[in-house]
């Protein structure tokens, strides 16, 4: 069982040939709306890849909030931990994707920042009944820290996706983090080390171990993912695919990995391979949640 605590947004994706410059007006040739937010995306990925999943977060009392609740309910995700917060607007993201598949994202966090410790306390059982608790930095930090302490007190495994990046991560959160999963940019911001080769990856991972985290997984885009624990390290290469939109690649990776990882982390490499596979499917279609694959698609692929 996986519980994700974090952000939930209504995404508006606009497809354009190239990104507008400041002061420039441009036309988008396609627009669509879908569920998003790193937290909700990770929950959808965990559920679609096969885990029992619950989500803890906040939406507004507006129509977007209701639509997002309906979307997660349709996925059979436990939404009892979602607070409907009076006076807060549901989080929204505007995502621009250019012809090369690069994206630029603008977020209004709204209810994601209006969700605090008291809502976490109400959902203690969701946390203590889960094997893995996953959090990001797109919602209130106090809520995340409390969720991780409840998880650790109950002997559960915590996974931190430090995105969007923060230069300093509070010690109280680091000491409660078992697994950290940053991408290359986040790794550089946390450690000050630009990861360009094997040695720099090892150095960055060691720096994160020094912060108190036992397992480090650095996602490397089309190069796959690097893992580093006390016992072993290496790269699990990505699948070679034609990427059209990398939105939610990292979220899909994390959700899929957590859905198959054993609580003792004994199958770490296999779980990373599963994460690589799920995200390689996600980057081949547009949008965040619409592109996240279901277990059947993962099973049909010959490699697993």
Identify the bridge partners of residue 179 per DSSP, sorted by sequence position.
159, 215
**The only residue of 112, 130, 183, 215 in contact with ligand ADP, by rule CB under 6 A:** 183
Name the strand (E) or helix (H) holding 299: helix 295-300
Name the strand (E) or helix (H) holding 108: strand 103-108
Q: Compare residues 169 and 225 and give the one whose CB is closer to ligand ADP.
A: 225
Q: Compare residues 84 and 188 and give the one whose CB is closer to ligand ADP.
A: 188
Rounded distance, CA 2 to CA 91, Å?
A: 23
Residue nearest to ligand ADP (CB): 250
The minimum distance between CB 240 and ligand ADP, in angstroms, equals: 7
Q: Compare residues 243 and 292 and give the one whose CB is closer to ligand ADP.
A: 243
Considering only CA atoms, which of 219, 117, 201, 104 is closest in space to residue 161? 219
Q: How far is CA 78 from CA 17, 36, 55, 175, 176, in A?
A: 39, 17, 6, 28, 24
Q: Compare residues 44 and 120 and give the one whose CB is closer to ligand ADP.
A: 44
One character per residue 212-241, x = contact with ligand ADP (rule: CB under 6 A) = -------xxxx-xx------------xx-x
Q: Compare residues 140 and 183 and give the one whose CB is closer to ligand ADP.
A: 183
The minimum distance between CB 163 and ligand ADP, in angstroms, equals: 6
Name the strand (E) or helix (H) holding 285: none
Q: Are strands 9-15 and 30-36 parallel, antiparallel or unpaired?
A: antiparallel
Q: Is 197 a catalytic residue?
A: no
The minimum distance between CB 238 and ligand ADP, in angstroms, equals: 4
Identify the bridge partners of residue 9 per DSSP, sorted by sequence position.
36, 91
Q: Are strands 225-228 and 233-236 parallel, antiparallel or unpaired?
A: antiparallel
Mapped onto helix, strand or coil, the DSSP state of residue 190 is helix
The minimum distance between CB 249 and ligand ADP, in angstroms, equals: 4
Rounded distance, CA 193 to CA 196, Å?
A: 9
One character per residue 250-279, x = contact with ligand ADP (rule: CB under 6 A) = x--x----------------------x--x
Active-site residue identified among 11, 178, 245, 251:
251
- Sorted by sequence, the CB contacts under 8 Å of residue 132 that are 6+ apart come out as 1, 2, 3, 156, 157, 158, 159, 258, 261, 263
The minimum distance between CB 49 and ligand ADP, in angstroms, equals: 13
Asked if residue 65 lies in contact with residue 43, where contact means CB atoms within 8 angstroms, the answer is no
243 binds ligand ADP per the rule CB under 6 A: yes
Residue whose entry in the numeric block shows the structure tokens 């994601």:
112
The minimum distance between CB 222 and ligand ADP, in angstroms, equals: 4
Q: Compare residues 20 and 221 and give the one whose CB is closer to ligand ADP.
A: 221
Where on the chain is the footprint of ligand ADP (CB under 6 A)? Answer: 183, 219-222, 224-225, 238-239, 241, 243, 246, 249-250, 253, 276, 279-280, 283
Active-site annotation, residues: 251
């Amino acid at each position: 069982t996986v519980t994700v605590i974090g952000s939930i947004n209504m995404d508006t994706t606009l497809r354009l040939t190239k990104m507008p410059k400041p002061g420039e007006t441009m036309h988008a040739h396609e627009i669509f709306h879908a569920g998003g937010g790193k937290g909700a995306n990770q929950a959808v990925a965990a559920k679609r890849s096969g885990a029992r999943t619950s989500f803890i977060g906040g939406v507004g009392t507006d129509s977007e909030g209701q639509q997002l609740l309906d979307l997660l309910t349709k996925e059979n995700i436990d939404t009892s931990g979602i607070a409907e917060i009076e006076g807060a607007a549901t989080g929204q993201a505007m995502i621009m994707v250019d012809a090369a598949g690069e994206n630029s994202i603008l977020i209004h966090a709204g209810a994601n920042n209006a969700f605090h410790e008291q809502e976490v306390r109400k959902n203690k059982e969701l946390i203590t009944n889960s094997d893995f608790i996953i959090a990001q930095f797109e919602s209130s930090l106090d809520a995340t820290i409390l969720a991780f302490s409840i998880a650790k007190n109950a002997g559960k495994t915590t996974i931190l996706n430090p995105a969007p990046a923060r230069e300093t991560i509070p010690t109280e959160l680091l000491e409660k983090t078992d697994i950290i999963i940053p991408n290359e940019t986040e790794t550089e911001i946390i450690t000050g080390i630009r990861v360009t080769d094997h040695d720099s990856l090892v150095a960055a991972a060691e720096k994160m171990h020094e912060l108190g985290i036992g397992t480090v997984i650095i996602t490397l885009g089309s190069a796959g993912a690097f893992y580093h624990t006390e016992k072993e390290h290496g790269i699990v290469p990505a699948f070679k695919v034609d990427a059209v939109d990398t939105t939610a690649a990292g979220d899909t990776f994390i959700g899929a990995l957590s859905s198959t990882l054993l609580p003792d982390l004994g199958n770490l490499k296999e779980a990373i391979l599963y994460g690589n596979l799920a995200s390689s499917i996600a980057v081949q279609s547009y949008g965040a949640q619409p592109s996240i694959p279901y277990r059947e698609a993962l099973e049909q692929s010959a490699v697993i």
